[in-house]
Amino acid sequence: MGILSLLSGIWGGLIRLPLNLPLPANNANWITFHGPLMVCGFLGTVIALERAVGLQTRWAYAAPLLTGAGALTLVFGFLGPVGPALFTLGSAAFLIVTLRVVQLQRAFFTVTMSLGASAWLTGNVLWLVGWPVNRVVLWWVAFLALTILGERLDLSRFQRPVRWAPPILIASLALFLGGIILSVFEQTPGERLAGIGFVSLALWLGRFDIARRTVRQEGLTRFMAICLLAGYVWLGVAGVLLVCFAPLGFGPGYDAVLHAFFLGFVFSMIFGHAPVIFPAVLNLPVAFRNHFYGHAGLLHASLLLRVMADLSGWGEGRQLGGLLNAAAILLFLVNTVTSLRGNSKIYSTRNSRSCSRTTSTGQGA
Ligand code: HEM
């Protein structure tokens, strides 16, 4: 259901570029719901599934099943509030799952992930009651940013602590979340404040994430670190763009802010973590190969083209960049699936040291 949501969401995004592509039985949902399909239908379902696998409790699967069902209603063209309602129920179930994780392990990183789940639920409730996507999208951004931050904090616990890192992190989070809450009442100042929070979080992650050290290693560990560091650069870029283009509405500025975050930051994280998350969720080994740099390089180069084209008003450049963004995601799926079928020896001999650990919330490290 998640993958179906991803593919139909990408198709809808390509039509919005605009590219002249057909739609099944004139189902305009794919265009209108490009954002919700990508964020709630794909990312929400996959994240909730990963957490359910980590928790190893049957009821936790309610969350991905509900959001997956919500995605199906949008993909197959049911109008009305059914899809948004299913996403809302799914995110409420996911919040309960994250609270259970907090109960099992009281730690800053589990609370951060739970805050992310609350942000997702808030965005979905606002969307369900009729707020437009451009007014709820920052809540969805907060869901993904806090989930990823929580995972990185979990993995960075093994580093020697720096005394002044926690207060700076809390100040950055206060700016980021305070800005998003303020944006509900005062859109432009709130979004600008949130943008400063993005930059501050990006600098914090770039300075304190373990990736700064692991980038000097080899193989999969190095690949993951490069994806993470590139993602932090895009998070900072998204923040600067948000400060410049607030209030979020539509058009090239909107496109640049959202995709610097969703493609540059979130998908770079997905590309980096996929070789260890797939084995954890599907129980299948992934053979890391150097051509993984192909989909990662294509993603960043095409996004740079798209954002530059957005900023300079070059329509064809934006279309080409968007098309190549989609190609990068498809190439990633092909490279990952073909590596899943690959021989497990490559995985276990070259990368076992960096990939075999499973974290306290059940994710591969
Ligand atoms: C893969 C290639 C992608 C293409 C070609 C694409 C294309 C587009 C376009 C053209 C817009 C409209 C921007 C405007 O108003 O001018 C848009 C909006 C949006 N995109 Fe994407 N996108 C892609 C990937 C993603 C991803 C990966 C995500 C999230 C994970 C995402 C989330 C959104 C959201 C939330 C909106 C706002 C929708 C709205 O206001 O209705 N996009 N996208």
pLDDT digits (tens, 9 = 90+) for 10-40: 999 999 999 999 988 767 888 999 999 999 9
User: Please, how many CA atoms are within 13 Å of residue 264, restricted to the half-sphere of its CB?
Assistant: 28
Atom of ligand 1 nearest to the CA of 329: 1
Q: Per the structure block, which two tokens stand in for 17?
A: 């570029």
Tokens 């294509």 belong to residue: 298
pLDDT at 353: 35
Q: Is the pLDDT of residue 174 over 60?
A: yes
CB 14 near ligand 1, within 6 Å: yes
Q: Per the structure block, which two tokens stand in for 260?
A: 């610097």
- Percentage above 90 pLDDT, the chain: 81
Q: Where are the alpha helices (DSSP H) in the chain?
A: 2-16, 29-32, 34-36, 45-55, 62-75, 82-104, 108-128, 133-156, 165-185, 187-208, 211-214, 219-245, 252-259, 268-282, 292-312, 315-340, 344-355
Q: Tell me which residue has its CA closest to atom 35 in ligand 1.
A: 35
pLDDT digits (tens, 9 = 90+) for 118-173: 999 999 999 999 999 999 999 999 999 999 999 999 988 777 778 899 999 999 99
User: Please, how many CA atoms are within 13 Å of residue 29, restricted to the half-sphere of its CB?
Assistant: 23
| d(CA 234, ligand 1 centre) in Å | 16
| d(CA 259, ligand 1 centre) in Å | 7
CB 258 near ligand 1, within 6 Å: yes
CB 35 near ligand 1, within 6 Å: yes
| d(CA 254, ligand 1 centre) in Å | 9
Domain ranges of the chain: 1-104, 132-365
| d(CA 258, ligand 1 centre) in Å | 7
Atom of ligand 1 nearest to the CA of 10: 1
| d(CA 265, ligand 1 centre) in Å | 14
Angle at 137 between CA 133 and CA 142, to 5 degrees: 160
| d(CA 13, ligand 1 centre) in Å | 5
For residues 216 and 243, give the distance between their C-alpha atoms in angstroms, rounded to a whole number.
33
pLDDT at 356: 36
Q: What is the mean pLDDT of residues 353-360?
A: 37
Q: Who has greater pLDDT, 356 or 315? A: 315
CB 13 near ligand 1, within 6 Å: yes
Q: What is the mean pLDDT of residues 203-231?
A: 95
| d(CA 347, ligand 1 centre) in Å | 34
CB 250 near ligand 1, within 6 Å: yes
| d(CA 178, ligand 1 centre) in Å | 25
Q: Is the pLDDT of residue 98 over 80?
A: yes
| d(CA 147, ligand 1 centre) in Å | 20
| d(CA 173, ligand 1 centre) in Å | 25
Provide the pLDDT confidence category of residue 262 given band limits of 50, 70 and 90: very high
pTM: 0.93
CB 326 near ligand 1, within 6 Å: yes
Atom of ligand 1 nearest to the CA of 32: 41
Atom of ligand 1 nearest to the CA of 42: 30
Q: Tell me which residue has its CA closest to atom 19 in ligand 1.
A: 35
pLDDT digits (tens, 9 = 90+) for 45-84: 999 999 999 998 999 999 999 999 999 999 998 778 999 9
Distances, alpha carbon 27 to alpha carbons 20, 23, 69, in Å: 15, 6, 18
Q: Per the structure block, which two tokens stand in for 86?
A: 């299913």
In the predicted model, what is the mean pLDDT of the chain? 91
Q: Is the pLDDT of residue 349 over 70?
A: no
Print burial letters for 75-84: b (CB count within 10 Å at least 16), e (below 16).
bebeeeeebb
pLDDT at 341: 63
CB 38 near ligand 1, within 6 Å: yes
* Phi, psi angles (nearest 5°) of residue 358: -115, 135
pLDDT digits (tens, 9 = 90+) for 280-303: 777 788 888 999 999 999 999 999
For residues 250 and 244, give the distance between their C-alpha atoms in angstroms, rounded to a whole number.
14
State the amino acid at position 113 in one-letter form: M
State the amino acid at position 203 in one-letter form: L
Atom of ligand 1 nearest to the CA of 134: 40
